[in-house]
Amino acid sequence: MYSPRPRTLHARSVSAILLLAFLAVFSACNRGASTGSGEHAYVVAPQVALRDRVAAVYNKVGFVNNGDRVEVLDRSSNKRFVKVRAEDGKEGWIEQRYLASQATFDGFQHLANENSAAQSQASAITRRVVNMHLQPARDSETLFQLKETEKLELIKRASTPRGGLKVAASRPDDDAKEREAEFEEARKAEANPSSAKGKAAKASGGKPGKGAEPADPNTLMEDWWLVRDQHKRVGWVLGRMMDVDVPLEIAQYAEGQRIIASFVLSEVEDPAQNKKMPQYAVLMTPNKDGLPFDFDQLRIFTWNLRRSRYETAYHERFQGVLPFTVVKEPDKREGEIPVMTARVLGKDGAITERKYRMIGVIVRKLK
């Protein structure tokens, strides 16, 4: 007798094979969509959720944190979202604005390597959560975020327009050349009063160097500091976002000036205090951003054992630039004594070094 069962079994087998083939193709397509492009990016936000889809309603499939390296898998049609794979293997979508490029990461690595041996000029505490920038400008690239009350080492200062400028401040040597060119131009104008420039010079009093003033004197400037954090990451942070860690015992002597750095020179044993009292070299500047120098006062505070207080053992005014260094050098009578080196900015823009040594409470200028 004829039985249809074998045909039914055959049809089911064919259907099963087709289904398996479809699933294999679908799985292969999915794997192809998640294949890495070889491009990497870095998370700039404190923490970002990975989305399972680009939609108003989505599920969180994981999280990535500030500084994490992710692999770029795909981008949405409007380029607003990026599909990434985290280091733990989880995949999801995040907004492009939360990512920094490999070039930005490499830039921060270069800053860290370039300043790995740079001497700290002071320590500071962040006032709130703040971004590290690749350049001293508001519109420069960012990557790392610093937490509130995080302790930083200050390396050097720069001033840029508040509106943002993607270049660092000019070097003193460049400024000197520019002033020299302007002086020569003004001198020629004065020698030829019939020219247009000569008439302008005559109207301004005929003083060479008058054109050295900025084109827009109303431009607001702000100070930035190159900092190094506890993880040895290096970047630029806006100066007003930090408080310089100044010893309380000498902060009272600032007299309205801004203390930008302090260095312990030596210690004095004080029986009355039952402890050793440090003696300091302190750098001060007017409480104003955008100055062409880093400091204009050097003050050395020593501890008076008889009066149990700090006194100014040395005070000198000059326009100085960082770094300011302190080393210990051997002395036949005193053992080791502190020797300080200040970098002085001249009127012509040239930088010269000035050295000091301190024996006891006596400070002497060496050159």
Residue type present at position 65: N
- Read off the DSSP letter of residue 86: -
DSSP H stretches of helix in 206-315? 248-251
Q: Which is nearest to 238 in space by CA: 327, 139, 331, 117?
A: 139
The secondary structure of 125-183 as a DSSP string is: EESS-EEEESSSSTTS-EEEEEPTT-EEEEEEEEEEETT--SSPPPPHHHHHHHHHHHH
DSSP H stretches of helix in the chain? 5-33, 102-114, 172-191, 196-203, 248-251
Q: pLDDT digit string (tens) for 118-149?
A: 999 999 999 999 999 999 999 999 999 999 99
Is the pLDDT score of 72 beyond 50?
yes
Chain-wide mean pLDDT for the chain? 82
Residue 24 has what pLDDT?
45
Q: What is the β-pairing status of strands 351-359 and 362-365?
A: antiparallel
Every domain of the chain and the residues it spans: 40-100, 172-212, 253-365
Q: pLDDT digit string (tens) for 281-322?
A: 999 999 999 999 999 999 999 999 999 899 999 999 999 999
Over residues 42-68, mean pLDDT: 95
C-alpha to C-alpha distance for 42 and 29, rounded to whole angstroms = 27
Contacts of 110 (CB under 8 A, 6+ apart): none
Q: Which is nearest to 41 in space by CA: 8, 9, 74, 13?
A: 74
CATH of domain 40-100: 2.30.30.40
Percent above pLDDT 70 for the chain: 75
Is the pLDDT score of 266 beyond 60?
yes
Is the pLDDT score of 103 beyond 70?
yes
Q: pLDDT digit string (tens) for 294-303?
A: 999 999 999 9
Q: pLDDT digit string (tens) for 174-226?
A: 444 443 444 345 445 444 544 444 443 333 333 333 333 344 567 889 999 99
Q: Which is nearest to 54 in space by CA: 27, 90, 80, 34?
A: 80
Contacts of 262 (CB under 8 A, 6+ apart): 122, 246, 247, 250, 280, 281, 282, 283
Predicted TM-score (pTM) of this structure: 0.73
Q: pLDDT digit string (tens) for 339-354?
A: 999 999 998 999 999 9
Q: How many residues would you count in the chain? A: 367
Triad 123, 361, 285: Cα angle to 5°: 40
Q: What's the chain's Rg over C-alpha atoms?
A: 32
DSSP H stretches of helix in 313-365? none
Q: Which is nearest to 233 in space by CA: 98, 116, 343?
A: 116
Q: Which is nearest to 187 in space by CA: 160, 211, 164?
A: 211
Higher-confidence residue: 152 or 184?
A: 152
Over residues 54-67, mean pLDDT: 94
C-alpha to C-alpha distance for 281 and 339, rounded to whole angstroms = 11
Cis, bond preceding 323 (omega within 30 deg of 0)? yes
Is the pLDDT score of 231 beyond 90?
yes
